[in-house]
A and B are shown apart, each in its own frame.
Chain A
Amino acid sequence: MLLQDRVCLITGANRGIGQATAQRFVDEGALVYANARRAGSLDALVEKNKEGQIIPLYFDVTNTQTLKAAFLRIRKEQGRLDVLVNNAGIMKDALIGMISSELVREVFRINVFATLEALQFAAGIMRRQKSGSIINFSSIVGVEGSVGQSVYAASKGAVIALTRSTAKELAPQGIRVNAVAPGFIDTALFHSIGEMRVASVSKDVGMGRLGTPEDVAGVCAFLASDLAGYVTGQIIGIDGSARL
């Protein structure tokens, strides 16, 4: 198994890509601290993995104190952290002229600031063990841009920049930092663009289908594992040749 006994933290693991990644990691032998902000929303995942491979951690990633407490708990309980998956994210669309500063703040608070903050806490633990893999979540939108999504695109572009920079800074300490850039993945987040747009953009996928959360989870498992032991600072597209 790819991730035997690895200690992992996955944010936003109660649904969508985060949930699929948590399940894939467990299937690969990992111990997963799964984060969600709504109490009870991880019950199904915990129930499915009865041998205790999922440890639920309820907190909002934008709350520094609870985020820090989660890392402290992992350090106390396991003495190490092998993998951080910064999956939690939101997508909010607004056309130019209708972009409020509150919307910008909200999107950046979750997609960028919380990602960076979690990365700092994780690096603090991983530095001691001189190893670790951090996986950030960008998006095809952050790479290519998209109409009505300037704010979301900017936040996911920021994730690319911070991934590349932190990878350089942490490489001497054996810590790898990569990002995934999913295309159109069949989750609630993607469907929030409206079913008409879902139908039209789905036609622009070269491989002729939407991605599944499992498609993304597989790449995360690879990046988390020793198979990717020499891979850092990379932005891996998972989009079935989608065009925007």
Chain B
Amino acid sequence: MTNREKYNQAFIETLEITADQLGDDLTYQSIEAWDSVGHMQLVSALEDAFDIMMDTDDIIDLSSYPLGIEILKKYDVEFS
């Protein structure tokens, strides 16, 4: 599985959405499931998927689907 696929899967599974909902419009609180509880579940899923532990500032900053990719790059996760 590529990193992009792992990333997408974390969103799809924790927020219970479909692949066509992934994109620039997917932001924190833009859908019901991405509330504060869903956010922490998403963080856990990303940490598990990439075997990392995110800094508190990054957890706060992870406010959209595209921003998450930028944040993960800081943890040496490469996206092609």
A-to-B contact residues, CB < 8 Å? 64, 68, 71-72, 75-76, 117, 120-121, 124, 127-128
| The one of B40, B53, B55 that contacts A127, using a Cβ cutoff of 8 Å | B40
A-B residue pairs in contact (CB < 8 Å), sample of 6? A64-B55, A68-B55, A75-B53, A124-B43, A124-B53, A127-B40
Q: Is the CB of B53 within 8 A of A68?
A: yes
Interface residue tally for chain B (C-beta within 8 Å): 10
Chain B residues within an 8 Å CB radius of A76: 51
User: How far is it, in angstroms, between the C-alpha of A127 and the C-alpha of B39 when the chains are bound?
Assistant: 13
A-B contacts at CB below 8 angstroms, number = 20
Contacts A68-B53, A124-B44 known; list 4 others, CB within 8 Å.
A71-B53, A76-B51, A117-B56, A121-B53
User: How far is it, in angstroms, between the C-alpha of A173 and the C-alpha of B53 when the chains are bound?
Assistant: 19
Chain A residues within an 8 Å CB radius of B48: 128
- Cβ-closest chain A residue relative to B56: A120
B74: min CB distance to chain A, Å: 13
A125: min CB distance to chain B, Å: 9
Q: Which residues of B, 46-68, contact A by the 8 Å Cβ criterion?
A: 47-48, 51-53, 55-56
- Cβ-closest chain A residue relative to B52: A72
